[in-house]
């Protein structure tokens, strides 16, 4: 081969290698440009995400603040929106929450918008809107990015939660204000009631004092009347008895009858005075509460009435058990004396038995004195306990009509009551209840 041919072949080979290297270099430059563009796009995208994160972070910081109002929070959130969008210089925003509206200073409506409802418990309570003030290149959603749709949805969801919290706090505050108002009203009412009660207590004390003074005056007057009547009645009885004794032979039948009537009237007057005195004592004297034995009381009463029981052949029946009660001994003796005396006085010819009974409950002792005598006429078992009230069956039997009234006073002072019922099959049953809490 000639030298010229060899040289030409080497040249062509070197040229081919050079072209190949140039092609590879061009590919490297193209790859570099693509990489550079991708890096620029990723940097841009990362910048957009950073803006979105800054927006959400700013919203979180606003919510945490305690020194600003709800209106300032909503306005601050609206102001944070434009910097988070791709073209912040032409972005504006508005949110409507119920009757309130918050907007950026540059806000105006345009054709380029993103909007999303703000919901609470599944119901719309407002909306959030983002506008571009100028036309921008088409992207994922008009001129807006897909990520911006996600961001506006996230902001709307936050706004819904904030609105719910605001509403809850307003409800709590409203309930607190209502409660505070109710407390003030009730306090005022209580103050008025306390003042009224204080005045009533003062008035009651005044009335009690006046009643106490009146009672003392009445008691003193009653005692003085009793004292003033007792002496003349004794004198009348004594003088009449002397007149009858020394001058009966001189007096005619009418004169002796007059003396007899005067003697009976004076005896009746003395008995009446004693009964009035007993009534006052039963009403006013202090009680001496002590344990008393019922058998002992009944023995005293039976011994007192034994002659009359024996003469009239009236059988006496009393409880066999030992019974102890807390009461005023003299008062209980007076009650049984009155009941037994009434049975003997008004029982009539049919009276053959007097029975004493006892029952007790959780709160009361109840005593019963029953007889099988004539009973009470007309079934009037209530008014017989009134002052100076006597039954029609009393007839000519002496009495002042105060005995059962005295018994009623004793029952009331022992925090109990007294009543009467018809016997079975005849006669009368008298009951006395006294409390166990004396």
Residues lower than pLDDT 70 in the chain:
1-12, 32, 35-47, 214-231, 233, 268-269, 271-285, 377-381, 386-401
Angle between helices 294-311 and 329-346 (to 10 degrees): 20
Secondary structure class of 427 (helix, strand, coil): coil
What is the rounded distance in angstroms from the CA atom of residue 339 to the CA atom of residue 354? 10
Secondary structure class of 418 (helix, strand, coil): strand
Which residue, chain included where needed, has tokens 């703000």? 118
Q: What is the pLDDT of residue 41?
A: 62
For residue 120, give every residue at least 6 positions away whose Cβ sits within 8 Å of its Cβ, in sequence order, or none: 160, 163, 164, 167
For residue 234, give every residue at least 6 positions away whose Cβ sits within 8 Å of its Cβ, in sequence order, or none: 266, 270
Q: What is the pLDDT of residue 392?
A: 47
DSSP code string of 53-95? HHHHHHHHHHHH-SSS-HHHHHHHHHHHSGGGSS-GGGEEEEE
Q: Is the pTM of this model over 0.85?
A: no
Angle between helices 146-247 and 3-64 (to 10 degrees): 20
Q: Specify if 409 maps to a domain.
A: yes
110 secondary structure, DSSP code: -
Beta sheet of 428-435, edge-to-edge order: 315-317, 353-360, 364-371, 428-435, 417-422
What is the rounded distance in angstroms from the CA atom of residue 234 to the CA atom of residue 266? 7
Q: Specify if 380 maps to a domain.
A: yes
What is the rounded distance in angstroms from the CA atom of residue 189 to the CA atom of residue 192? 5
What is the rounded distance in angstroms from the CA atom of residue 252 to the CA atom of residue 242? 16
Q: How far is CA 77 from the centre of its chain?
A: 49
What is the rounded distance in angstroms from the CA atom of residue 125 to the CA atom of residue 100? 11
Q: What is the pLDDT of residue 300?
A: 92
Q: Specify if 38 maps to a domain.
A: no
Return the percent helix, strand and coil in the chain, to nearest 5. Answer: 60, 15, 20
What is the rounded distance in angstroms from the CA atom of residue 337 to the CA atom of residue 261? 28
Q: Specify if 407 maps to a domain.
A: yes
Please list the residues that pair with 127 across neighbouring strands.
96, 117
Q: Specify if 354 maps to a domain.
A: yes
Q: What is the pLDDT of residue 110?
A: 95
Q: Specify if 39 maps to a domain.
A: no
For residue 27, give both structure tokens.
């590919």
Please classify residue 270 by burial: count the beta carbons closer than 10 Å to its beta carbon, then call 0-12 exposed, 13-18 middle and 19+ buried. middle
Q: What is the pLDDT of residue 397?
A: 45
Are 300 and 333 contacting, i.e. CB atoms less than 8 angstroms apart?
A: yes
For residue 403, give every residue at least 6 positions away whose Cβ sits within 8 Å of its Cβ, in sequence order, or none: 275, 338, 341, 342
DSSP code string of 378-391? GG--SGGGSTT---
Q: Specify if 422 maps to a domain.
A: yes
Q: Quick check: bond before 425 cis, omega within 30?
A: yes
First CA to last CA distance, the chain: 155
pLDDT tens for 130-167 read: 999 999 999 888 899 888 898 999 998 988 888 888 88
Q: What is the pLDDT of residue 400?
A: 47
Residue 41: CA count within 13 A, CB half-sphere? 6
Q: What is the pLDDT of residue 218?
A: 59
What is the rounded distance in angstroms from the CA atom of residue 284 to the CA atom of residue 298? 25
Number of structural domains in the chain: 1
Domain limits at 320?
288-435
For residue 271, give every residue at least 6 positions away whose Cβ sits within 8 Å of its Cβ, in sequence order, or none: 398, 400
| Domain containing residue 357: CATH number | 3.30.565.10
For residue 108, give every residue at least 6 positions away whose Cβ sits within 8 Å of its Cβ, in sequence order, or none: 92, 131, 133
CA dihedral 386, 392, 396, 397 (to 10 degrees): -50
Q: Specify if 344 maps to a domain.
A: yes
Which residue, chain included where needed, has tokens 């190949």? 20
């Amino acid at each position: 081969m000639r030298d010229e041919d060899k040289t030409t072949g080497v040249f062509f080979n070197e040229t081919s290698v050079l072209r190949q290297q140039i092609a590879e270099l061009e590919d490297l430059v193209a790859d570099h440009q693509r990489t550079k563009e991708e890096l620029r796009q990723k940097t841009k995208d990362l910048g957009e995400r950073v803006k979105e994160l800054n927006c959400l972070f700013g919203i979180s910081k606003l919510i945490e603040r305690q020194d600003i109002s709800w209106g300032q929070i909503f306005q601050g959130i609206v102001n944070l929106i434009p910097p988070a969008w791709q073209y912040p210089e032409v972005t504006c925003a508005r949110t409507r929450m119920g009757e309130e509206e918050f907007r950026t200073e540059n806000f105006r409506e345009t054709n380029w918008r993103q909007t999303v409802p703000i919901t609470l418990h599944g119901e719309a309570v407002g909306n959030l809107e983002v506008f571009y003030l100028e036309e921008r290149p088409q992207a994922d959603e008009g001129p807006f990015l897909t990520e911006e749709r996600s961001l506006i949805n996230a902001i709307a969801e936050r706004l819904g939660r904030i609105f719910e919290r605001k509403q809850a706090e307003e409800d709590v505050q409203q309930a607190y204000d209502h409660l505070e108002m109710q407390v003030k009203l009730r306090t005022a009412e209580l103050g008025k009631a306390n003042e009224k009660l204080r005045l009533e207590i003062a008035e009651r004390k005044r009335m009690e004092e006046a009643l106490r003074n009146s009672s003392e005056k009445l008691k003193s007057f009653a005692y003085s009347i009793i004292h003033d009547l007792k002496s003349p009645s004794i004198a009348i009885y004594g003088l009449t008895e002397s007149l009858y004794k020394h001058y009966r032979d001189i007096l005619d039948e009418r004169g002796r009858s007059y003396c007899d009537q005067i003697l009976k009237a004076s005896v009746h007057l003395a008995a009446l005075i004693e009964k009035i005195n007993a009534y006052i004592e039963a009403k006013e004297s202090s009680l001496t509460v002590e344990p008393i034995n019922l058998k002992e009381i009944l023995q005293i009463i039976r011994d007192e009435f034994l002659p009359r029981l024996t003469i009239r052949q009236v059988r006496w029946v009393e409880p066999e058990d030992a019974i102890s009660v807390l009461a005023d001994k003299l008062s209980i003796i007076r009650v049984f004396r009155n009941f037994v005396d009434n049975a003997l006085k008004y029982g009539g010819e049919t009276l053959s038995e007097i029975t004493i009974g006892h029952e007790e409950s959780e709160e009361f002792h109840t005593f019963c004195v029953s007889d099988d005598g004539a009973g009470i006429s007309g079934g009037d078992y209530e008014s017989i306990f009134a002052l100076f009230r006597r039954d029609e069956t009393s007839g000519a039997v002496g009495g002042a009509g105060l005995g059962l009234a005295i018994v009623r006073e004793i029952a009331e002072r022992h925090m109990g009551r007294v009543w009467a019922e018809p016997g079975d099959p005849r006669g009368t049953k008298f009951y006395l209840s006294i409390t166990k809490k004396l």
